[in-house]
Chain A
C-alpha cells in the first residue's frame, strides 16, 4: 500500500515537471482535469459550429433560390441593413429607446415587487384578501392589456414602460412573498428570543436570507420586461425595436424585422449575463 502511494507520488512529480501548470497534483487528478477541459472545449466548439452552419445554410438557401430572400432575408442582407442603419445612426436610437424602457420598467418591477411582497408579509390578512386578485392578474396574458394601456395612457413611453412592468410585476410579488413566508420559522424565533421586533425579523432574516431568491426572480423578470416593452412598442410607438418589427412587416422590409429580432436576442443575452455576474458576485461570499 505504502509502495503504491509512493510510486503515484513519483509519477505525479514527473508529470509536474513536464507540466508546470499542474504541479502538485496526482496523475489521476491530472488526467481527470484534462478530460474535463477537453469536454468543455468540445462543447464550446460545437456550439459555434451549429451557429455557423445555420448562417451558411441560410445564406446558401437564399443564393441558390431555395427560399425567397425578399421575405426570408439572409445573413448578408441583415448585415448590410445593420451597416446602413449604423451609418445613419437610426439603429442606436431604436436600441437605446428599447433598452431604456426595459431598464426603467425592470427597476420599477424590483421596487414594486419587493415593496408589495414586504407589505403582504407584514400584513398576512391583507395578503389573504389580495391573493385571488394577484393569482388572476399573474395568469392573465398581459398582451391583452397593452391596447388598453395605449388608450388610457396615450401612445408614449409611459404606457410602454407600464406594459413592461405589467408583464413581470405580479409574478415577482408572488414569488418573493412565497419565499418570505417559507423562511425557516426557527430563524424568525431566534430574532424574537433576542428581543427583536417584527421589523428586525424583516431586516435581519427575511431580506438578507432571500437575496439568492431575489436575484433568481430578477433573472427571469428582466427578460419578461423586455417582452412587455416590445409588446407595448408593437402597438403604440414610433421608435424602438418593437416598432421596427411591426413597421418592417407592414412595409415588407423584412430585413428590418429579422435584424431587430437578432438584436433583441443579443440584448436578452446581455441583460441575463449582467444579472448572472451580479449573482456570482453577491453569492460568492455565502458559499465559501
Chain B
C-alpha cells in the first residue's frame, strides 16, 4: 500500500538563551494507510516533538514531512507549507482540555467552529458520534459532570469531527486511572478501526503500545533517533487491545520491547 505519511531525515532542535537542545536527529519512516503505529522511547526523548512536527505545529530544521491526502491523488506534499493538508491531520493531546465554559456539545464542535465548517452535514455527523459513543444524554452538560472516560471520548469526537485522515495521539490515556485506561483504550481502538483511521500513538506504556499497534517505533534517548521498528503479528487478526493482552504473542512482544529499550539505556 502507498505510504500516507513519510518522514525524510527530519531533524529538530530547541533553542534557548542557555543553548541548543537537539531533540530529533535524522528521523525517517513511513506510515501506510490504515496502519496503527505506536512510538515508544525514554521519557523526554522528543516523542511529543515528533507529533508536533508531523502536525505542522513545528517546522523541521532540515528534512521533510510529507503527507498524501485523499484529494491530492496520492501526491505527497510538505505538511508545514500547506494549511489544507494540516486540516487532514487530527491531534489528540495528553489531557482532554474540554473547556468548562462550554457545554459538551459546544466543546465537540469547537474544531468545526474554528474552521468555519459547522454545517448541517457535520452537525449530523456529530449527532451520530454522540449517540454511538454514549454521550448523547450529556450534550448540554458541563465537562466536569463527565467521567474520565467520557471526557476522553468527547475529546476524541472533537478530533474526529474534523474528519482527519491521520490521527496523532499524544499519550491520550495517561491522565486516566488504570481501569478506565484499559476500557478507554479498548473504546478508542474500536472507534479507530470502525472509522478506518490511520493513527500514530505516542506512549510510555509498553503494554499499551503492544496491545494497540501494528508496528512499534522505538526511539533512542535524546536526541532521538530510530532505534528499531518492531512489526507485530498476531495469530488471530483484529483482536481488541484487551484480548491481545491475553495472547502468547503479547508476552513475547512485550519482553522483546522491554529488552530493546533496556539494552540502550
Q: Report B-chain residues with C-beta under 8 Å of the C-beta of A196.
A: 114
Chain A residues in 8 Å Cβ range of B87:
195
Q: Is A131 an interface residue (CB 8 A)?
A: no
A93 to chain B, nearest CB (A): 43
Q: Which of B92-100, B121-129, B223-231 contacts A (4 or more CB under 8 A)?
A: B92-100
Q: For the complex, what is the distance from the CA of A205 to the CA of B98, rounded to whole Å?
A: 11
Contact B114 A195 (CB under 8 A): yes
Residue A190 at the chain B interface, CB threshold 8 Å = yes
Chain A residue at minimal CB-CB distance from B86: A195
Q: A186-B94, A186-B95, A288-B144 are in contact. Are A194 and B100 (CB under 8 A)?
A: no
Q: Is the interface of A mostly helix, strand, loop or mixed?
A: helix
Decide: B115 and A194 in contact? CB cutoff 8 A: yes
Give which listed residue, B57, B86, B91, B114, contacts A200 with CB less than 8 A.
B114
Contacts of B142 in A (CB 8 A): 285-286, 288
Whether B114 and A193, one on each chain, are in contact in the complex, defined by CB atoms closer than 8 angstroms, is no
CB-defined contacts of A63 to chain B, threshold 8 Å: none
- What residues of chain A lie closer than 8 Å to B55, measured between beta carbons? 193
State the CA gap A186–B94 with chains docked (Å).
9
Is B3 on the interface with A (CB-CB < 8 A)?
A: no
Query: Interface residue count for A (Cβ, 8 Å)?
Result: 20
CB pair B162–A194 under 8 Å, yes or no, is yes
The 8 A CB mask of B95-133 against A (1 = contact, 0 = none) is 101011110000000110111000000000000000000
Q: Is A220 an interface residue (CB 8 A)?
A: no
Interface string of B132-176 (1 = CB under 8 A from A): 000000000010110000000000001000100000000000000
Pairwise interchain contact B57-A205, C-beta atoms closer than 8 A: no
User: By the criterion of a CB under 8 Å from any partner CB, how many residues of chain B are at the interface?
Assistant: 25
A195 to B113, CA, bound (A): 11
Q: Nearest chain B CB to A186's CB is how many angstroms away? A: 6
A187 in complex: contacting residue of B57, B94, B97, B145, CB < 8 Å? B97
Q: Which A residue's beta carbon lies closest to that of B55?
A: A193
A208 proximity list for chain B (CB < 8 A):
99, 101-102
* CB-based contact A286/B97 at 8 Å: no
- A39 and B100 alpha carbons, distance in the complex (Å): 34
Asked whether A191 is an interface residue with its Cβ less than 8 Å from the other chain, the reply is yes
Could you give, for residues 196-215 of chain A, a 1 whenever the CB lies within 8 Å of some chain B CB and a 0 otherwise?
A: 10001000110011010000
- Tell me, rounded to whole Å, the shortest Cβ–Cβ distance linking B93 to chain A: 6
Within 8 Å of chain B (Cβ to Cβ): is A86?
Answer: no
The docked-state distance in angstroms from the alpha carbon of A196 to that of B110 is 10
Report whether B97 and A186 are in contact in the complex, using a CB–CB cutoff of 8 Å. Answer: yes
Complex Cα distance A204/B94, Å? 20
User: Cα distance A194–B144 when bound, in Å?
Assistant: 22
With A193-B57, A200-B114 already in contact, the answer to whether A186 and B93 are too (CB < 8 A) is yes
A252 contacts the other chain (CB 8 A)? no
Is the CB of A54 closer than 8 A to any CB of chain B?
no
Q: Return A288 CB to nearest CB of chain B, in Å.
A: 5
Are A204 and B110 also in contact (CB < 8 A) when A186-B94, A190-B97, A211-B101 are?
yes
Query: What is the bound-complex CA distance between A192 and B97, given in angstroms?
Result: 13
- In the complex, whether A189 has a CB less than 8 A from a CB of chain B is yes
A153→B98 CA distance, assembly (Å): 50
Interface residues of B in 44-87 (CB under 8 A from A): 55, 57, 83, 86-87
Which A residues are CB-close (under 8 A) to B115? 194-195
Contact between A286 and B145, CB atoms less than 8 A apart: no
A200 contacts which chain B residues (CB < 8 A)? 114
Q: A209-B101, A286-B101, A286-B142 are in contact. Are A189 and B114 (CB under 8 A)?
A: no
A193 neighbours in B (Cβ, 8 Å):
55, 57, 90-91, 93
Q: Would you give the shortest CB distance from A284 to chain B, in whole angstroms? A: 11
Contacting residue for A205 out of B99, B111, B144, CB 8 A? B99
Task: Determine the distance from Cα of A190 to Cα of B159 in the docked complex, in whole angstroms.
Answer: 10
CA–CA, A196 to B100, complex, Å? Answer: 19
Q: Mark A167-196, 1 if CB is under 8 A from B, else 0.
A: 000000000000000001011011111111
Which residue on B lies nearest to A282, using beta carbons? B101
Q: Which residues of A contact B145 (CB under 8 A)?
A: 288
The distance in angstroms between the C-alpha atoms of A200 and B158, with both chains bound, is 16
CA distance A186 to B142 in the complex (A): 20
Contact sample, A vs B, 5 pairs, CB 8 Å cutoff: A191-B114, A193-B55, A204-B99, A285-B101, A286-B142
A sample of 6 more A-B contacts (CB under 8 A), given A193-B93, A208-B99, A285-B142, is: A187-B97, A195-B87, A195-B111, A200-B114, A204-B99, A288-B144
